[in-house]
Amino acid sequence: MSTIGPEDVAYVAQLARLALTEDEARAMARDLEQILGHVKSLDALDTEGVEPTAHGFELATPMRPDHPAEPIDPELAVSNAPAAQGTAFLVPKVLEEEG
């Protein structure tokens, strides 16, 4: 929770699939350090027994009935695709399990 170093930036950049140049990484580390320094002020607050807020209101869980709707036109589904094969999205070969 103290200093953000280049390894920290590299770690989260990988998690977020962002490639940073060395300069960018350094700048990011500095910015994040500064912002987190400000965030540190939250530590001082006593939040013992305080529930986290998820949302504004205590709503009953919204649900919908199990009625299927018409699927989207498959052509339309891939209409924005950078690469497609028929109605499937095309990507470089998927090798491993989840990244």
Partner 1 sequence: MSVLPDDYEMVIGLEVHTHLKTASKLFSPAPVRYGEEPNHSVHPIDLALPGVLPVLNERVVELAIRLGLAIHATVNEQSIFARKNYFYPDLPKGYQISQFEEPVVSDGWLDIEVEPEAEGGGKGKKKKGAAPEPVRKRIGITRAHIEEDAGKSIHDVAIAGSEDSCIDLNRAGVPLLEIVSEPDLRSPQEASAYLRALRSILRYIGVSDADMEKGQFRCDANVSIRKKGAEFGTRTETKNLNSFTHVEDAIEAEAIRQLELIEDGGEVVQATMGYDPERRRTHVQRLKENSDDYRYFPDPDLIPLRIPAEKIEAVRVALPELPEEKRARFESEYALSAYDAGVLTASRTLADFFEETVKGCGAPKAAANWITRDVLRELKERECEIEDLALTPAALGQLIGLVEEGRLTQKSAAQLFPDLVANGGDPEAMMVERGLEAVSDAGAIEGFVDEVIAANPDVVQQVRDGDDKPLNFLMGQVMKASQGKAEPGQVRKALAEKIRG
Partner 2 sequence: MGQAEDLLAKGLADQRAALDGGDVSASALVDASLARIEATASLSAVVSTRPDAARAEAEAAAQRIAEGGARSVLDGVPILLKDNIVQAGEPATCASRILENFVSPYDATVTEKLQAAGAIIVGRANMDEFAMGSSTENTIYGAAHNPWDPTKACGGSSGGSAAAVAAGLVPVALGSDTGGSIRQPAGCCGVVGLKPTYGRVSRWGLVAFASSLDQIGPFGRSVADCAATLEVIAGYDERDSTSVPEDVPKWTAALDGEVAGLTIGLPEEYFVEEGVDPGVLARVREAIGELESAGAKTVPVSLPHTEHAIATYYVIATAEASSNLARFDGVRYGRRADRPEDLQDLYMRSRSEGFGPEVKRRILLGTYVLSAGYYDAYYGKAQRVRTLIRRDFDRAFASCDLIVTPTMPETAFGLGEKSDDPLSMYLSDVYTTSVNLAGLPGLSMPCGLSNGMPVGLQLIGKPLDEATILRVGDAFERLTDHHSLRPPEGA
Residue selected from 5, 26, 76, 87 as contacting partner 2 according to rule CB under 8 A: 76
What part of residues 53-72 is at the interface with partner 1 (CB under 8 A)? 54-55, 59-69, 71-72
Cα distances (angstroms) measured from residue 17 to each of 9, 10, 11 = 12, 10, 10
Given a contact cutoff of 8 angstroms between Cβ atoms, the answer to whether 33 and 53 are in contact is no
With the CA atoms of 10, 16, 17 and 20 taken in that order, what torsion angle do they form, in degrees rounded to the nearest 10? -40
Tell me if 44 contacts partner 1 by CB under 8 A.
no
Structure-block tokens of residue 10: 């590299």
Residue 88's contacts (CB-CB under 8 Å, 6 or more residues apart) are 78
Interacting residues toward partner 2 by CB under 8 A: 1, 4, 8-9, 11-13, 15-20, 24, 28, 31-32, 34-36, 38-39, 41-43, 45, 47, 50-57, 59, 62, 64, 72, 76-83, 89, 91-95, 99
Interacting residues toward partner 1 by CB under 8 A: 15, 17, 54-55, 59-69, 71-72, 74, 77-78, 83, 85-94, 96-99
